[in-house]
Amino acid sequence: MTSATIEIRKGLAGVVVDSTAVSKVNPETNSLLYRGYPVQDLAANCSFEQVAYLLWNGELPSPEELAAFIQQERAGRALEPVVKQVVDALPITAHPMDVCRTAASVMGACHPLAGDSSPAANMAKALDLFAAMPAVVAYDQRRRREGRPIEPVEPRAELGYSANFLWMSFGEEAAPEVVEAFDVSMILYAEHSFNASTFTGRVVTSTLSDLHSAVTAAIGALKGPLHGGANEAVMHTFEEIGIRSGESGGEAAARAKAWMEDALAHKKKIMGFGHRVYKNGDSRVPTMKAALDKMIAHYGRPELLGLYNGLEQAMEEAKAIKPNLDYPAGPTYHLMGFDTEMFTPLFVASRITGWTAHIMEQAAANSLIRPLSAYNGVEQRSL
Ligand SMILES: CC(=O)SCCNC(=O)CCNC(=O)[C@H](O)C(C)(C)COP(=O)(O)OP(=O)(O)OC[C@H]1O[C@@H](n2cnc3c(N)ncnc32)[C@H](O)[C@@H]1OP(=O)(O)O
Ligand SMILES: O=C([O-])CC(=O)C(=O)O
C-alpha cells in the first residue's frame, strides 16, 4: 500500500473500531439505548442507582439486588482521609477536573485490590469509584468556596445517590424536584458508546493496565471543551452575554441572539452545539431540556430560558446546528447552585458508570488498540 492509496479518517470519524453491548447510539432515529432500554424511559422510571446496575450487569436489578447494591454504594460514600489529604494539597487555582483526575488516581494507588484486575476486582473498583466520587466533587466545591481545607459534609445513608450528592455539596437537603432533575442529568450523562473519553478508557485497558488508570485517563479526555468541558463552557457563554435576574425572557433572548450572530460572524465555535454522531439533534436533549424547564419554574428564572432560546434560535437560523446534552445541562446545574467549574466533574461522577462498563467489556474480549499512521515526514536521508 503506498501512502497515496491510504485513506485517513481524521478523528476516526465514521470508523467502527469494535462492537459493544453497553449502549446503542442511533442518529437516524435520534435514539439512545442503554442495554436495550431507551434512555428517556430510564430517566422517567428509574433511579441513577438502577441505571448504574443496569450498565454494569446488563439487566435492571430485582428489588433484592437493588437493596444489596444500594447498601454497597452507601457504604463507600465517605471522603477517604488519604484522598482528602491529597485534595487539600492541591491549590484552588487547579481546575476541579484536575482534582477529580488526581483523586481517581489516588483511589487506584490506595485501593485494597490494586494489582488485581480480575472481573470481580474490577466490578468492586467500579462501584467504589461510583460511590466515592460525589464526596470528592462536593468537598472540592466547598473547600474552594472557603478558600482553605475544611471538614467535609458527611454523607447520609438514608438519602439516595442524588439527594446525598446535593446534601454533601450544599449542606442542606434539596427539594424533591431538584433531586429528580439532578438524577435525570446523572442518568443522561451516564453512557454514550465510543465517545472520546470512553475510547480513551478502552485504549488504556487494552494494554492490560488497571481500571483506575483507565478512568484517570478518561477524566483527562473528558476535560476538554470539545467533549465534557462543554457544559462549563456553555455557562461561560451565558455569563459573557450577561445573566440579568428579573429580566424578561424576551429581552434576554434578543440579547442572546445578537451575541450569537456576532460570534458566528467572527467564526467562533459555540460550545454546547453540534455533535460528531448526531447531526439532527442529540437524543438526550428533550429530556434534559424538560428538566431544565422544571428548574427554571422552580427557581423562577425566566431570563435563563430567554438566553437559552435566543442562542438556540440564532444557531438554528444561521447554521441549523442543534444543541447537545451539555447545552441544557449547564444552566440546570447553575440553577441548582453549583459553581460553573464544577459542572464537568458532575459529568465525571455520572460517566464513571459508562466508562467502567466499557473497561470491563474491553477487558473481557481484549485486543491491543494500536492503529496505524501514514508517515508524512521527510524521506529517509543520510547523516
Ligand atoms: C457530551 C459531549 O461531549 S457532546 C459534545 C460537546 N462539545 C461541544 O459542544 C463543542 C462544540 N461542538 C463542536 O466543536 C463540534 O460540533 C464537535 C467537536 C462536537 C463535533 O464536531 P465534528 O463532527 O468534528 O464536526 P466539525 O467540528 O468538523 O463541524 C462541522 C462544521 O460545523 C461547524 N460546527 C460544528 N459545531 C459547531 C459549533 N458548536 N459552533 C459553530 N460551528 C460549529 C464547524 O465549524 C464545521 O463547519 P465548516 O464545515 O464550515 O468548517
Ligand atoms: O458521543 C460523543 O461523542 C460525546 C457525547 O455526547 C457523550 O460522550 O456523551
Cβ(324) – ligand 1 distance below 6 Å: yes
The ranges of the chain with pLDDT < 50 are none
For residue 3, what pLDDT is reported? 55
CATH for 230-336 (1.10.230.10, 2.40.240.20, 1.10.10.10, 3.60.20.10): 1.10.230.10
Interface pTM, i.e. ipTM: 0.98
pLDDT score for 5: 79
Residue holding cell 488498540? 369
pLDDT in tens, 243-284: 998 899 999 999 999 999 999 999 999 999 999 999 899 999
Residue with the smallest CA separation from ligand 2 atom 1 is 195
| All CATH 1.10.580.10 domain ranges in the chain, comma separated | 23-225+341-365
**Is 326 considered catalytic here?**
yes
CA–CA separation, 172 and 102 (whole Å): 27
Cβ contact 283:25 at 8 Å: yes
Q: Where in the chain is the domain with CATH 1.10.230.10?
A: 230-336
Catalytic residue among 192, 275, 334, 358: 275
pLDDT, tens digit (0-9, with 9 covering 90-100), for 277-323: 998 999 999 999 999 999 999 999 999 999 999 999 999 999 999 99
Distance in angstroms (rounded) separating the CA atoms of residues 77 and 192: 25
Q: Are strands 31-34 and 23-26 parallel, antiparallel or unpaired?
A: antiparallel
Q: Which residue has the cell 439516595?
A: 160
Active site residue 298: no
- Give the CATH fold of the 23-225+341-365 domain: Citrate Synthase; domain 1 (1.10.580)
Report the alpha-carbon distance of residue 134 to residue 132 in Å, rounded: 6
Predicted confidence at residue 6, as pLDDT, reads: 86
**DSSP β-bridge partners for residue 37:** 34
